[in-house]
Amino acid sequence: MRERFLAFNDALYLACLWIAGIAIVVMSLIIPWGIFARYVLGTGSQWPEPVAILLMVVFTFLGAAVSYRAGAHIAVAMLTDRLGAVPRRLLAGVVHVVMLGVAGFMVFYGTRLCIETWGQSISEIPSIPVGLTYTPVPVSGLITLLFVLEHIACGSQDQRAIVTFDHATAEASEPGAS
């Protein structure tokens, strides 16, 4: 059961990583198009800015979930580095409980936000409901919740092959590496 949970989270991690990466690449293509259309063609397109903002929300929230699992999130370690092993472990437990609360908040209130704004539409793109643009909040909250539960139940997964694959490749390609 544990291995199936970890394998599921590996697949979820990889999917989030790819979706966040694709979102930032597409956003990087849309913004220059908007600038080109406005200043070169003289016809300012209305859709690039809201789509780029939506993609930024996608890569930000999914990227945060990926960063949590990979242990790459921002942390201020000045205090924890000075603590002994037991207080450090207790503080880590508090952090996990707080993260559960934050992820639960995102799922609950993000879902409510999506439902309450589903009937509204974006003025520049009337076919897209506003509620759809908020779906990355509860979705990434649920994913983060799974990653926090995984961390609590199975320990840190920041050394799994799927998380460190780029480190192994970089180390192997360094001069003098065998």
Domain locations in the chain as residue ranges: 2-166
Q: Which tens digit of pLDDT belongs to each residue from 67-91?
A: 989 888 777 677 777 888 898 889 8
- pTM, rounded to two decimals: 0.82
Neighbours of 57 (CB within 10 A): 17
Residues in the chain: 178
For residues 110-125, one letter each, b for 16 or more C-beta atoms within 10 angstroms of the residue's C-beta and e for the rest, the string is: bbebbeeeeeeebeee
- How far apart (Å, rounded) are the C-alpha atoms in residues 4 and 10? 10
Report the pLDDT value the prediction gives residue 113, as an integer from 0 to 100.
Answer: 96
CA 104 and chain centroid, separation: 15
Q: Which tens digit of pLDDT belongs to each residue from 88-130?
A: 889 888 989 999 999 999 999 999 999 999 999 888 888 889 9
Instruction: Tell me the CA end-to-end span of the chain in Å, nearest whole number.
Output: 37
Give the CA dihedral 29, 30, 32, 38, nearest 10 degrees. 160
Q: Which tens digit of pLDDT belongs to each residue from 41-50?
A: 888 778 888 8
